[in-house]
Structure 1
Amino acid sequence: MGNTILIVDDSELDLKLISTVIRNNEPFRTIITANNGEEACRQAVRHQPDLVILDWEMPDIDGLEVLRILKKNELTKDLPVILMSGVSFTDKIKEAFSVGAADFIPKPIHPEELQARAEAVLTNYANFKSLKDHANQLTLANLKNERILKSILPLPILMQIKEYGSIPPKRYKDCVAIFVDMVDFTTKTGKMSPGVLLRELHELFTGFDKVIDEHFCTRIKTVGDAYIAVCGMFYTPGNIEIEAASAAVKIRDYIIERNKNSEIKWELKIGLYNGDIIGSSVSPSNLNFDIFGETVNMASRFQAMCEPMQINVSESLSKPLSEAYKLVTRVPKKVKGKGVMPMYYIHKPLKEIEKKEAVLIPAPSMQ
């Protein structure tokens, strides 16, 4: 089996006897010996044996105290220990098992009994390690899966999947959809290496994520160079429209500041539109969360009809935003399916915007 076994006894004669018995059935076992409790603790930490055979009656630190020390140490707490004693007191045997002994053997040692008990403990410990390794692998796999899911799903939706096992469709009322698109993305990236392109997108979207989180919004997804977020789906800040606009302005500011020190200069267009949004996964076999409805379509169109480095908002948003932002009235434009619509650019804040707390909306139920 190739196990490592630590034998602890202050008698050299007993050490040799026990070592011979233990090797009798399996000559390839590694035997480590110690003749006092302090050395036993050091050897246990260093070698992590599969079994400790420990004499109870030793000077300075007796076997029971060594057992206590091993069980308190994170590195040795799971090691199986067989205690040996020439004094068979029932109350002490109970105490040994209560501290964590795997078995007890009386002295003088009977070779057949020692072999049988040692083999049983080794087998149990091998099974324990196998189960522990399997549990650790499952834990690591779950953590890895959760990290992957967190990267593609909003946190409230991930919480919902854990609780209900699905993503039921829901209509989220009074939200603001935020669409961000990089200007001339295809032209600029045509000569970039894949590594540079991915690095740029990673840095940009990480910066956007930070802003979005600060304003109680939720990133829904990225599609190529497009970044899509929503305010008001999972959090209820004091003023959803103001928070969404503040997030859009700070994303623009982030790009302006980044361009000062970056070789690659970017421009963007941002569209905001408010209204109801339907959120769900596309199919039972696809956990990707997505958003649908007129509000989403209109935010996309407002972004497309925006000039570089501008934030285009609807008339319904202009009213709540006019108290906090200077807006520029645009020439009304024809929007597919809606006719001619008023549009406004967010120019700059009129005053310092008061930061309010937000409440997490409970996981959605089927509606």
Structure 2
Amino acid sequence: MTTTDSLIERQRRASLAHIRQELLAPVTSIIGYQEIVVEEAERLGLHAILADLGRILGAVRTLAELLDRLLDPAGMPDIASDGDLAIVEAKLRHDLRTPLNAIMGYSELILDECDSVDLGALRPDIERVLTEARRLLSQLDSVVDFSRREADRTGNEDADNLAADLMRAFQPIEGAPALRSEIGRILVVDDNESNRDLLCRRLARDGHMVSHASSGRAALDMLADGEFDLVLLDLMMPDMNGYEVLTRLRADPGLREVRVIMISGIHETESIIRCVEAGAEDYLPKPCDPVLLRARISACLERKRWRDREHLYLTELKAEKERSEVLLHNILPSSIVRRLNQGERAIADRLEEVSILFCDVVGFSAIASRMTAVHLVEYLTRVFTTFDRLTLDLGIEKIKTIGDAYMAAAGLPEPRPDHAEAVAELALGMLDATDRISREAGTPLKVRIGIHTGPVVAGVIGTHKFIYDVWGDTVNLASRLESHGMPNRIHVSEAVQRILEGRYVFEPRGSVAIRDMGQISTFFLSRRAETLGPDGEI
């Protein structure tokens, strides 16, 4: 085709598109109004006029079908010559007037006979249908006029500009990048062998990995065994129709994400709507236009790629969130994590009865000087990991480690009545653990432990690196009891001794001078009371 012929063809297509738009707008309006009128008449039980209303609706749909057929560029004759133009114009005007006359005639008849039927709210809509039909009839000659000359045209500049714009739109854009063609794994499902073969060959030529099935049941079996990006699914099949296959796919959690394009010779709107509502990505008529099929498949596969990426990002995000949650729970108590997740920012609580424990390795500098850095860290990790297991088993909160010192507390963030007993059990467990680790490692290891009970303030500090910490005189005294204690002994305050008296064995230490606190009566907790025999011996 020469450049001149190509331009003439584009002009022809632009003219047809303009006429189609001019005619379809009022026809669409008439269809809408008439469908409302029919539905309302059925609801009101106006049986006397339902037959005529149905005839009007049928005429409107016939009008729309005529427009689609008569203004199809592929089916139009060459309208370059005046003779052909006259033939096409005459046929359009004649064929379109027939349904228009029926629409107007029956509408006028219903309005004329309204004395015998109470039309009520139907009258305005019937009058709108009649008005639109008359307007379309009056415009028919001016709209359907391919041969108008510039001198004879009146107010036609806008239409000409529209056609020119449309022609430009049909031309390829200079320098535009070629559209990316998505490649995928496609399953073709059709009971007709010729249809399957044709589709498979086209798809394979486009680079897709293609499989095929001759029935709905075979397709379901293949989908269960293999992975496919897209299914081209015929609607009409004998053993299991395409709609049944589609509904089963959407009901199967493992297959509901498979994309499906329905392909059928049925052009009924209800069938298309049902398939789309059931989860079909698209609906293509048979025979498929190769260019349209390629575009729809590429668009569908691209949407799948984006969906797959979204799933991947969401999975990675979920994994990251879970790792963050685990890390956060390792740093903060669970109840504090919940409060932070609920949006609470300033977390600070005063608790009246909390037991604080400090544990420190005796002579740590001398031990460290005899070990390599790696050995030292591994050794401390072993010790503190054992302490962590003890706190976890006893439901005690590890607060922090500072160098070779370990701090824990019971009775926070949630109060508990046995806070002092829990910390005493932790202290005894720490002594047993350090003795065992010392013997197994062949490295002498001794610890000092201090415990005090009383009121504290606890809360979260920091915004970048969170830490749950405890403050107050109770904390200070527990720390100083540890520093004033003795190796492998549990040094406790009088408050702890009073709470646990009778359940544990205590040895009076006497009065100890504590900086900033004066003389304090203290005790050594040695063992549980039930470990003593009737004669007081171990």
TM above 0.5, yes or no, is yes
One-letter code of the match for 2:197?
Answer: K
Alignment of 1:40-51 (within 5 A): 40-41=219-220, 43-44=222-223, 48-51=227-230
Indicate conservation of the 8 Å contact 1:41/1:66, yes or no.
Answer: yes
What is the match of residue 223 of structure 1? 402
Match of 1:277 in 2: 456
Verify: 1:302 aligned to 2:468, yes or no: no
Amino acid at match of 1:314: S
User: Could you tell me which of 199, 206, 219 is aligned with 1:18?
Assistant: 199
Per the alignment, do residues 61 and 284 of structure 1 end up closer, same or farther by CA in structure 2, a change over 3 Å counting?
A: same
Post-superposition Cα deviations, 1:82-117, rounded to whole Å, max 9, x if no partner, equal 233345666655554454322233433333442343
* Structure 1: distance between partners of 2:255 and 2:374: 46
Unaligned runs of 5+ in 1: 353-367
Q: What's the CA shift for 1:242?
A: 1.6
Is the contact between residue 216 and residue 235 of structure 1 (CA under 8 Å) also seen in structure 2?
no
Give 1 or 2 for the bigger CA radius of gyration: 2
| Aligned amino acid, residue 445 of structure 2 | W
Q: Is 1:255 aligned to 2:434, yes or no?
A: yes
Higher strand share: 1
Of structures 1 and 2, the one with the larger relative CO (CA 8 A, separation 6+) is 1
Give the Cα separation in 2 of the matches to 1:283 and 1:77.
Answer: 46
Task: Report the secondary structure of 1:158's partner residue.
Answer: helix
Structure 1 CA distance for aligned equivalents of residues 459 and 201 of structure 2? 68
Instruction: Quote the residue 2:261 is aligned against.
Output: 82
Between Structure 1 and Structure 2, the one with more helix by share is 2
Moved more, 293-302 or 66-75: 66-75
Q: 1:327 offset after TM fit, Å?
A: 0.5
Q: Structure 2: 5+ residue runs without aligned partners?
A: 1-181, 532-538
Q: Does 1:350 align with 2:529?
A: yes
**In 2, Cα distance between equivalents of 1:265 and 1:36:** 78
Give the distance between the partners of 1:160 and 1:39, measured in 2 at CA. Answer: 54
Q: Do structure 1's residue 168 and structure 2's residue 347 form an aligned pair? A: yes
Task: Identify the range of structure 1 (204-213 vs 326-335) with the bigger mean alpha-carbon deviation.
Answer: 204-213
- Aligned pair in 2 of structure 1 residues 126, 200: CA closer, same or farther (>3 Å)? same
Are the equivalent residues in 1 in contact too, given 2:216–2:237 (CA < 8 A)? yes
The residue that corresponds to 2:133 in the other structure is: none
Do the aligned partners of 2:357 and 2:450 also contact (CA within 8 Å) in 1?
yes
TM-score, normalization by structure 1: 0.83
Equivalent position of 2:164 in the other structure: none
Q: Which residue is 2:293 aligned to?
A: 114
Contact 1:216 1:237 in 2 (8 A): no
CA distance 1:57–1:155, change in 2 (3 Å): same
**CA 1:268–1:87: 2 relative to 1, 3 Å:** same
Tell me which of 204, 214, 238 is aligned to 2:383.
Answer: 204
C-alpha distance in 1 between matches for 2:245 and 2:362: 70
Residue 144 (1) aligns with residue 318 (2): no
CA RMSD of the aligned region, Å? 2.9
Describe the superposition over 1:235-294 as per-residue Cα deviations: whole angstroms up to 9, x where unpaired.
Answer: 332322222212222232333444554445533221111122222344444422222222
From 412, 415, 422, the counterpart of 1:236: 415
CA distance in 1, matches of 2:462, 2:523: 37
Matched residues in 2 for 1:351 and 1:323: separation? 9
Q: Give the CA deviation at 1:232.
A: 0.9
Where does residue 358 of structure 2 map in the other structure? Answer: 179
Task: Report how many aligned residue pairs link the two structures.
Answer: 350
Would you say 1:33 and 2:212 are equivalent positions? yes
Specify the code of the residue in structure 1 equivalent to 2:195: D
Question: What do the CA deviations read for 1:305-351 (whole angstroms, capped 9, x no partner)?
Answer: 22222111101111111121010111322111112222111111113
The CA deviation at 1:189 is 3.5
Preserved contact between residue 281 and residue 290 of structure 1 (Cα < 8 Å)? yes
State the percentage of identical aligned residues: 26
Letter in 2 for 1:30: M
Query: TM-score, normalized by length of structure 2?
Result: 0.58
CA distance in 1, matches of 2:364, 2:191: 77
Task: Tell me the SS of whatever aligns to 1:235.
Answer: coil
Kindly indicate whether the alpha-carbon contact (under 8 Å) linking 2:411 and 2:417 is maintained by their aligned counterparts in 1: no
User: 1:363 — aligned with what?
Assistant: none
